[in-house]
A = this chain, B = another copy of it.
Amino acid sequence: MLEEMNIDRSEIENLLRRRFFYDQSFSIYGGVNGLYDYGPVGCAIKANILSLWRRHFILEDQMLEIDCSILTPEIVFKASGHIDRFTDFMLKDIQTGECFRADHLIEDHLEKLLEIKDISDEKKTEIKRILPQIGNMNATDLQQLIEQYNIKSPNTNNNLSEPIAFNLMFSTPIGPTGQMKGYLRPETAQGMFVNFKRLLEFNQGRLPFAAAQIGTSFRNEISPRSGLLRVREFAMAEIEYFVDPSDKTHSKFETVADLEIQLYSAINQINGESAQLIRLDDAVRLKLINNETLAYFLGRIYLFLIKIGIDKNRIRFRQHMSNEMSHYACDCWDAECKISYGWIECIGCADRSCYDLAQHIKFSDQRLVAERQLSIPKQIQVGEKRLNCKMIGQLFRKDASIVIEYLQNLSENEARILHEKLQQSDEKITIDNKEFIITKLIFTFETIQKTIQVEEFIPSVIEPTFGIGRIMYTMLEHNFKIRPQDNQRKYFTLPPLIAPYKCAVLPLSSNAAFNPFIKQISDLLTQIGISYRIDSSSNAIGRRYARCDEIAIPFAITIDFDTLSQPHTIVLRELDSLKQIRVKIDEIIFVLQNLSTEKVTWNEISRLYPTFIEQQTKRLENVE
């Protein structure tokens, strides 16, 4: 693995580009920063990660998956706070107009300072103290640092503008008039909040339930960098778990309670301690993690990361410090993974309390609430309007309906005031420029006692949110290997469920006698839906193996001269161990189906079949 083997990151990146896992978009036109296209290999890996995600989260917990619009009208992001607060600070080179992300520019500058030898220890300590805070600074603090350290535009040494708040959302007008302001969503979450009522109804009014969404989001990053880590368009997968705030226990918590996980709490961070290995139920008991449901998701996230092949020793959960957490959140943990860029956030998991629904209630005037059964029925006072519709009809004839509508739409307070006035005298009201005289015979308002069995509340939301590109890149780094016997031979050992193609089909040579077997085997694989690549090019078999290894194909079927005779058999080779076994063609479906769905391991299967070794050494030598 990368860390242990001390490999240059460019080795991986070259391979990823050369074999088109993914690459910069539109590069025939010079490319666009922060946009990537996934080639056949990356696209398949991404699809497999998402498919496992669906199974691990959605199917396992019966979540309600939905698929909402990317184009979003402005009001939604006014409600969510994105219009006001989804900004990064930008600095402009005052001569050239080049833009920089303020925190990154200052961090880079200070990090370079640290490397200078003749800087005092005192200064170094100060810089080290400042560095972790820069990401959360406001414009004034950032400007002060720029002045204090005399920071200039890095390429020109020109002066920099003051920090400017730059909203990261892409905007585009919707419709032909250009009047409706729209944005590309910067997260999928809002689609789930605005559909809360429909989802609650689909779930027959019952809480808790989780909505989930997989989709593309967009952020107009000031300066995209670090490959897939900071991009302008990306796949994400999000869960919104709606729960009664008075009960955040989780019925399946016991299934993860015993997991021991690296937790890097806010207290650890303040005290300069490192992360600690803690059992999840201890963490809940010690109130390190706010509640069971949040802890349940941390456990499920941990299991997911391991299942897709991320190294469990390079995962930690870092708690947000109070200054980086939104004011409404009651707890937030990031799943961070260690890669060549350092510890990077791959997944966030926040208890956002009832903030999101409350905001949409405020802006939409809809009742986005759930009901809870009261153990003891409650007496409450409610105002009730009484309209004498018959008399209204007789008095106002064809205008009756607008008068009724007017009276019914009065707020509780307006109705009370009108009622009180009517006790003194009749009242004149104006609707659509017409006047109507209302009397106490027509309208009354009374406060009555009512017994209620249920009460309404705004659900809390616990939100795990996954950046798929980051997870995929981390997974690739953690599984990158180089053969000890030949440092030109690089490969990835992905779990079979994640591997882009499950097997390769390789005739030993271009001898035409092999063709019917290529066809037979590919027909069999197609039938049962196992993805594969045929490489029948004239290259030496060793070279073709190497090519399959590079794109992380875990198993290779070789058709050789023994295949031609009865009983027809093939050689099955495993990528990492290089071990080979001979399997009858009739049995490869059984073998590959079980291997590719991870029902059995290679070790288990390979014990059942004769090992094939004679040609292996020869082949390895053949590698070009």
Contacts and interface: CB of A to CB of B under 8 A. Distances in A.
Contacts of A67: 37-38, 42-43, 46
Kindly report how many copies of this chain are found in the complex they form together. 2
Contact of A198 (B23, B69, B71, B363): B23
B26 A526 contact: no
A59 interface: yes
Interface of A: 19-20, 23, 25-26, 28-29, 32-33, 35-40, 42-44, 46-47, 55, 59-60, 62, 64-73, 75-76, 90, 97, 99, 166, 170-177, 180, 182, 184, 191, 194-195, 197-199, 201-202, 204, 216, 218, 220, 222-223, 232-233, 360, 363-364, 366, 368, 526, 529, 531, 533-535, 537
Contacts of A360: 28
Contacts of A537: 204
Contact of A71 (B90, B232, B529): B232
Nearest to A100: B176
Contacts of A529: 55, 59
Interface of A is mostly: mixed
Contact of A37 (B36, B90, B182, B191): B191
A362 to B, nearest CB: 12
B174 A172 contact: no
A29 B76 contact: yes
A30 to B, nearest CB: 9
A600 B407 CA distance: 63
A44 B71 contact: no
Contacts of A175: 33, 99, 220, 222
Given A218-B71, A366-B28, A65 B40 contact: yes
Given A25-B68, A99-B176, A62 B534 contact: yes
A608 to B, nearest CB: 23
Contacts of A44: 65
A172 B169 CA distance: 10
B233 A26 contact: no
A368 B28 CA distance: 10
A185 to B, nearest CB: 11
Given A19-B202, A26-B76, A28-B194, A177 B99 contact: yes
Contacts of A99: 175-177
